[in-house]
Amino acid sequence: MDQIRTIKGTHDILPPNSIKWQKLEKIIYQTCKLFSFKEIRTPVFEKTDLFSRSVGELTDIVSKEMYSWEDRDGTNLTLRPELTASVVRSYIQHNLQSHSPIQRLFYIGPIFRRERPQKGRQRQFHQFGVEAFGSDNPEQDAEVISLAWHLLSKLNIIDNITLKINSLGSPECREKYRLALKDYIRPHLSTFSETSNVRFKKNPLRILDSKNANEINILKSAPPISNFYTSEDKNHFKSVLSFLDKMKILYKVRPQLVRGLDYYTKTVFEFTSKDLGAQDAILGGGRYDNLVKTLGGKPTAGIGFAAGMERFLIALESKGFNFENEAPDIYFVCIEKEAIGLTLALTKKLREKDFSVIIDPMRRSMKAQLREANKFGAKIALIIGDSEIKSNSIIIKDLTKNSQKTCPQSELFNFL
């Protein structure tokens, strides 16, 4: 029979890799605690409308990359291609602003996008993200960015990272800019790629994301969006940058940074890493002050970011991050069949006292079990053989010093 394998662009996370994930998650939880962000978990599938109305019908994500299907009752459903929309849906549904005017939420979970798989790009990947609701003040932008900065510093991968930042201004500013950018590009359009031609019609700002050398060259002289900021847009962005300066968070203003999702207003940012190769965006985010209203809630400002967990791990590995396998405290060597029940009973008690214990369910020889105890890096081996059964004793072998002593089973816990 054909062997069934994972679907293209999806991966199993196996031990010892899964231990790296747990360690990364632990550092994320600790960081979120420092900033008082609380965890939110939402379903992995939602109504398709949620994403088309928020991320945007014309974006690559919605137009090409979503896993969508019609449910048996005719509802269109989609595996979430990002989490901001789901968090906003939940914020509105559960009236979270009534609990507190500021809501600080974070999430870790799988995301699904039908992209061409390559290093750092999967079809099922995982994001860690945060969303802060309730303030349109620039200090909130600075705080969210400083959370990302703190995490990347804590993980020791900040050295090779660049924070790129821009402001997309208010919707009025963007509309004026859209027209001006089209006017600038129009005379060059025949030399632009097919993708850019489609974007020109549907979503011209996305042309700024072009990777084509000719287009990049032409776009260098395009008018910057800052020419179209309102004074409120200008002041907001200026304050965000000055707060980052105060916190000694280094950034580069990139007028071409537009991001691939439609809901952004004002601040947008991306952290890129030299350790990642072609897919170098490790984290991206921005402000979305109109999204809660667009999805049917009371007008509420919001800002957040999401980071690719797999990309974190690539960056960490290139730094030689120490993800040691956790060794068990005790390997319980049981050589006699009659002692299996006793071994299990003692093991249960040991675990109740928080010792991590391994037993050998294969009933191998003492030599084989001890070899495995050393392989796992266990600190202690407990041994019960024929004479220990008869004398109610147990051998305690210190595997780090290779010394051993025998004690009555009743004294085992005191000894340990």
Q: Is 310 in the site for ligand HAM (CB under 6 A)?
A: yes
Using the rule CB under 6 A, is 167 a contact of ligand HAM?
Answer: no
Shortest distance, position 193 Cβ to ligand HAM, whole Å: 22
Of 286, 333, 347, 360, the residue at the interface with ligand HAM (CB under 6 A) is 286
Q: Rounded to the nearest whole angstrom, what is the least distance from the CB of residue 289 to ligand HAM in the complex?
A: 11
HEC states along 88-116? HHHHHHCCHHHCCCCEEEEEEEEEECCCC
Instruction: Assess contact for 128 and 108: CB atoms under 8 A.
Output: yes
Pairwise CA distance, residues 257 & 281, whole Å: 12
Structure tokens at 3: 């062997």
- For residue 48, CA distances in Å to 29, 63, 285 come to 30, 11, 22
- Cβ-based neighbours of 6, under 8 Å, separated by 6 or more: 12
Site for ligand HAM in 24-83 (CB under 6 A): 82-83
Is 311 a residue that touches ligand HAM (CB under 6 A)?
yes
Nearer Cβ to ligand HAM, position 258 or 378? 258
Number of residues that bind ligand HAM (CB under 6 A): 27
Per CB under 6 A, the segment of 202-210, 225-233, 308-316, 361-369 that binds ligand HAM is 308-316
Query: Hey, which residues between 235 and 264 contact ligand HAM (CB under 6 A)?
Result: 260-261
Q: CB 66 → ligand HAM: shortest distance, Å?
A: 12
Q: Does 347 bind ligand HAM (CB under 6 A)?
A: no
Binding span for ligand HAM by CB under 6 A among 214-222, 304-312, 321-329, 349-357 = 304-312
Residue 99: how many CA atoms within 13 Å on its side-chain side? Answer: 9
Q: Can you spell out the DSSP letters for 161-212?
A: EEEEEEE---HHHHHHHHHHHHHHHGGGGGGS-HHHHHHHHH-GGGGGG---
Q: How far is the CB of 19 from ligand HAM (least distance, A)?
A: 20
| Residue numbers 86-145 binding ligand HAM by CB under 6 A | 113, 115, 120-122, 125, 127, 129, 131
Looking at the Cβ atoms of 264 and 332, the one nearer to ligand HAM is 264
Sheet holding 161-167, edge to edge: 38-39, 103-112, 124-133, 302-308, 281-287, 265-273, 161-167, 252-253
Nearer to ligand HAM, 121 or 234 (CB): 121
Element (H, E) at 39: strand 38-39
Binding site for ligand HAM (CB under 6 A): 82-84, 113, 115, 120-122, 125, 127, 129, 131, 260-261, 281-286, 304-308, 310-311
